[in-house]
Structure 1
Amino acid sequence: MLLRFSFNNLQDKAAYLPVISWAFYDFANTIFAMNILSLYFVLWATEDHSSTQLTFSLFLSGSMLASAVTAPFYGSISDIVGKRILLLATGVAVCALATSLIGVLGGVTVGLILFAIANYSYQSSNIFYDALLPTVSNSNNRGKTSGFGVALGYIGTITGILMVSPFVEEWGRQAAFIPTAFLFLLFSLPCLVFVKEQQITSSISIDIFRKAYINVYQVVRQAKMHKPAFQFIIARFFYLDAINTLIVFMAVFVSQVLKYSNQQIEMLLIVSTTCAIFGALIYGRISDRIGPKKTLLIILSQWFLVFSSATFTTNPFHFWFIGSIAGISLGALWAADRALLLRISPPDQIGTYFGFYQFAGRFSAVIGPILWGITTDAFLDLGSVRFRIATAVLLVPLIIGLALLVRTSDQPTSIHLATE
């Protein structure tokens, strides 16, 4: 059913095996994102080991900042030498190793350092993965292909939670890390083995870093030539500043504000993730039909409702509806926004532009958690109300991103039209 829905009219370029194999990395990486970034690690650090919200936020933001700074250069390197599969494999291996060692080596401080390393590797790997999308799709089915990857990713999230939660129930949150690392590594293998990228004759050497720097510099200098792409990247910075922060602290919010138990939190995440599957599939098709920009505007309007409702709701039951809308909107977001970037950026610099795309997302994740941490610490005397205030504050960057996206042209560049 899922394959028929997504691949009914795919052309030869997006053959089944490469597409499914590519999408399995989404399956793998959302296991890490949910179990480590959204669920178990933040609670392991802040509740099991009494680390403050601000301390966790600083380690998270530090790893995000490092990945943001290096993202355009990694993307440029992948444009110059190709070998995105090799670069992706390296990031996967480092992330899995660091994750498996959390709680095994040292205490909470070492755990935070390992978390930062794992998150840096995870975020950096996404550059190479996203840049492989043109390899397995074309301009007519990019939204559906991207949406299928996102949908399969959230199926992986549910699978990951169901497979890891028995370990947590038996031995505590620390027991989540090794199984999560193993699942991330295992389900990344199809993408690493079966996706075949176009070969480039350049080899990886020290000189590549100089060439990558020059290429990034030239892209920035020529930003006016591709104004829509850079304007979209700036808009993405603002709306992800809000969305990423809420994702990271959702478990803390419902635990502290609505007094959800661990089991309720897990069930909420499963419900939200199920909704994300349908959001990715449906909005991926909508993106191909009405265009990714219009689709994104609809999605961000839904996020506005999520933030507003979360700020004011007092009934724990209501958050099941809020979480469902958030899930739909999150799956839809990832399906549409990378399709928009591919539409408006030059095809011979896909890696570099995805580097800036990741730069915007990761740098926004530096600001958002710090803003959350400062807000919750500043209103510490207000108890759980401080989390509502922090959620309301995040509406500001969301609205700014929405306004910038409205002003962004989604017409393909002449270079794009000539090559597709």
Structure 2
Amino acid sequence: MKSTSQQRAWYWYDWANSAYVTTTATVILGPYLTSIATRAACPDLPSGQVCTTPVNLLGLSVLPGALHPLLVTISTILTLAALLIVGVLADRSARPQWWLGALAWAGAVAASAMFFLVDTNWQLGSVLMIVANLCVGASQVIYDGILVRIAEPDDRDRVSSRGWALGYLGGGLLLAINLVMMTAYEPLGLSYGLAIRLSLLSAGVWWGLFTLIPVLGLRSLPPRAMGELEAREGVHTNPVRQLANTFADLRNYPQTLLFLAAYLFYNDGIQTVIGQSSLYAQSELAMSTQNVMITFLFTQFVAFGGALLFGRLAGRLGAKRTVLIGIAIWFGVVAVAFVLPAGVFGALLALGGAIGLVMGGTQALSRSLYSQLVPKGREAEYFSFYQAMERGTSWLGTLSFALVFQLSHSYRWAIIVLVLFFLVGGLLLARVNMRKGILQAGNELPRVW
């Protein structure tokens, strides 16, 4: 029986990093960075007009409206190798919780430094966003890999779902505090811009402080299992060589590879919807920042219940069937978003509720589903592949979103292209043979798979 105290400590990293993911990456940074870039490129732009004067990003002419999704794409490409190396090194470490802490605190510093984004300084925001995204992604590799050490196969759906649920609760709580500050900024003696910057600062501080709980609570992790490759070649395998071996080794686990291909598509769809929804709501649907924050706050608390509900449903139907149900709902969400009328807050709120219902459940169960397909002793290493496609680091979806906007000047056409990601991802996931994959990885079959 794994330690429940360690499971409780592990949950808190979802609570910690969700502050950045929710307040900064999902709600505030996209529209705020877009407005700063727009101010730099089109200082006299009338309200409600699209800026068609590009800014220069690494030699590329990019419309301000496409800057944020393109930066997410670039951050993924730049951090992919780093995530894979982190996975290798964490698997070789007896204290992965310290890796978790170091990466989280570096990201928290970058997130807190977003307080200094003022005027037209979109370049600083771009650098800080890339650093923070790298750190949240790399730390999540360590965090996901620890799940295998602290939960038995039959417990992982439950433990993973509770972590996601607590994350949505924590992210929602800070978002509520920031909503109050950004709504009542005048009685608080603040300008609106300062209220936004203080919200960005609060997310970084929250991330850093609450990371102390998992780092300290996971000090006595059970030893990891030794993988077959490591047993053959010894524990002193060079990390770069081990990484190369991982790529080659994936061919021995075709079901794991098929799952990763499926996850690449449907999770990129999920992440793009989550990451660009604030930009879509404000720029395409003409919603105020306050109404967008209220919608996200509602979504967060629905997601808390949705993650727990999906965890229970997986206990009856199996995680794979439950995730497929979630993907079908995501498909419908994107289709409805395409025809959603501008300025109708009630419609946006209803769509936010539908997103919240499936958001936590599909992501939590995907994590536990994948953990069953990972070879023993190489958890963080294999989760680095998974995390490269995980929240805040998806790139195919954001690249498609940015390119379609660049060509059409319309976020509606940019959002509707995402139905392809859910369609392809769902079809690939349906082909994954979980029983065969679990046994190929040398893992114990759970009661329901």
TM-score (norm 2): 0.83
Residues 240 and 364 of structure 1 are in contact (CA less than 8 Å); yes or no, is this contact kept in structure 2? no
Partner of 2:29: 41
Partner of 2:328: 301
Partner of 2:431: 407
Partner of 2:382: 353
Partner of 2:107: 95
User: Displacement, 1:167?
Assistant: 4.2
User: Displacement, 1:333?
Assistant: 1.2
Secondary structure, aligned partner of 1:345: coil
Q: Does 1:187 align with 2:210?
A: yes
Amino acid at match of 2:417: V
Name the Cα RMSD after superposition. Answer: 2.5
Q: For residues 404 and 236 of structure 2, what CA distance do their matches in structure 1 show?
A: 39
Amino acid at match of 1:13: K
Of 198, 206, 210, the residue aligned with 1:175 is: 198
Secondary structure, aligned partner of 1:62: helix
Of 140, 144, 160, the residue aligned with 1:146 is: 160
Of 15, 25, 38, the residue aligned with 1:27 is: 15
1:244-295 C-alpha deviation (Å, 9 max, x unpaired): 1111111111112322111111110011111111111111122233221111
* Cα distance change, pair 284–388 in 1 and its aligned pair in 2 (3 A): same
Of 55, 62, 66, the residue aligned with 1:54 is: 66
Secondary structure, aligned partner of 1:416: coil
Amino acid at match of 1:98: A
1:187-228 C-alpha deviation (Å, 9 max, x unpaired): 1111010123235799xxxxx997222222222223232111
Partner of 1:269: 296
Partner of 1:391: 415
Residues 324 and 430 of structure 2 are in contact (CA less than 8 Å); yes or no, is this contact kept in structure 1? yes
User: Displacement, 1:400?
Assistant: 0.6
Of 84, 87, 97, the residue aligned with 1:72 is: 84
Q: For residues 209 and 105 of structure 1, what CA distance do their matches in structure 2 show?
A: 45
Q: Does 1:63 align with 2:75?
A: yes
Q: For residues 362 and 439 of structure 2, what CA distance do their matches in structure 1 show?
A: 23
Q: For residues 393 and 78 of structure 2, what CA distance do their matches in structure 1 show?
A: 12
Secondary structure, aligned partner of 2:2: helix
Q: For residues 418 and 21 of structure 1, what CA distance do their matches in structure 2 show?
A: 26
Residues 83 and 384 of structure 2 are in contact (CA less than 8 Å); yes or no, is this contact kept in structure 1? yes
Partner of 1:135: 149
Q: Does 1:212 align with 2:200?
A: no
1:349-378 C-alpha deviation (Å, 9 max, x unpaired): 111110111123379722222221121121
Q: For residues 151 and 323 of structure 1, what CA distance do their matches in structure 2 show?
A: 16
User: Displacement, 1:72?
Assistant: 2.3
Of 140, 143, 157, the residue aligned with 2:171 is: 157
* Cα distance change, pair 150–93 in 1 and its aligned pair in 2 (3 A): same
* Cα distance change, pair 352–131 in 1 and its aligned pair in 2 (3 A): same
Amino acid at match of 1:20: R
* Cα distance change, pair 390–29 in 1 and its aligned pair in 2 (3 A): same
Q: For residues 179 and 302 of structure 2, what CA distance do their matches in structure 1 show?
A: 20
Of 361, 368, 380, the residue aligned with 2:397 is: 368
User: Displacement, 1:63?
Assistant: 1.5
User: Displacement, 1:165?
Assistant: 3.2
User: Displacement, 1:23?
Assistant: 0.5
Counterparts of residues 103-122 of structure 1 (less than 5 Å): 103-104=115-116, 107-122=121-136
Q: For residues 14 and 306 of structure 1, what CA distance do their matches in structure 2 show?
A: 38
User: Displacement, 1:186?
Assistant: 1.4
Partner of 2:45: none
Q: For residues 198 and 37 of structure 2, what CA distance do their matches in structure 1 show?
A: 14
Q: For residues 149 and 197 of structure 2, what CA distance do their matches in structure 1 show?
A: 38
User: Displacement, 1:417?
Assistant: 2.5
Q: For residues 318 and 385 of structure 2, what CA distance do their matches in structure 1 show?
A: 22
User: Displacement, 1:176?
Assistant: 1.6
1:153-209 C-alpha deviation (Å, 9 max, x unpaired): 00001111123334443323222222111111111111010123235799xxxxx99
User: Displacement, 1:115?
Assistant: 1.5
Counterparts of residues 288-327 of structure 1 (less than 5 Å): 288-314=315-341, 315-327=344-356
1:321-365 C-alpha deviation (Å, 9 max, x unpaired): 221111111110122001111112212211111011112337972
Q: For residues 209 and 388 of structure 1, what CA distance do their matches in structure 2 show?
A: 52
Amino acid at match of 2:175: I
Q: For residues 404 and 418 of structure 1, what CA distance do their matches in structure 2 show?
A: 22
Higher helix proportion, which one? 1
TM-score (norm 1): 0.89
Residues 111 and 204 of structure 2 are in contact (CA less than 8 Å); yes or no, is this contact kept in structure 1? yes
Unaligned 5+ segments in structure 1 are 1-11, 203-207, 381-385
Question: Percent sequence identity over matched residues?
Answer: 21
Residues 31 and 160 of structure 1 are in contact (CA less than 8 Å); yes or no, is this contact kept in structure 2? yes
Q: For residues 322 and 183 of structure 1, what CA distance do their matches in structure 2 show?
A: 28
Partner of 2:249: 222
Deviates more, 1:78-87 or 1:229-238: 78-87
